[in-house]
Amino acid sequence: MARTTSTTKSTKLRRTMRKAAWPALGLTLMAFFGAYAVLGPNGMFAYGDYKRQLAKRERDYAVLDRKREVLKNRVALLNPDHANPDMVDEMVRKELNVAHPDEVIVPLGN
């Protein structure tokens, strides 16, 4: 009789474990995705880092935009239809490294 009760207990335990397997798997998956939503690379804790990166990139963009405006102005001054003589003279002297003997060249660090 002792053998039958241990077999019955084992069968009941196995049946209970089988019934609990799917809910346990579901809870495990929900916990995994919940933790990923909070702690993952795109989670709630990463939001502050995204804001810092956005602010830095906006500053970088502003610097590049100012540089673009300067270059746009220089291109407009070098338009072949009506080139600015001073700009053309400056660029030719800079590229060819040419100066008159009585001129003093002051590098501006460009």
Measure the CA–CA gap between 31 and 99, rounded to whole angstroms: 74
At residue 48, the pLDDT reads: 83
Enumerate residue ranges in the chain where pLDDT < 50: 1
Annotated domain spans of the chain: 1-39, 46-110
Measure the CA–CA gap between 80 and 69, rounded to whole angstroms: 19
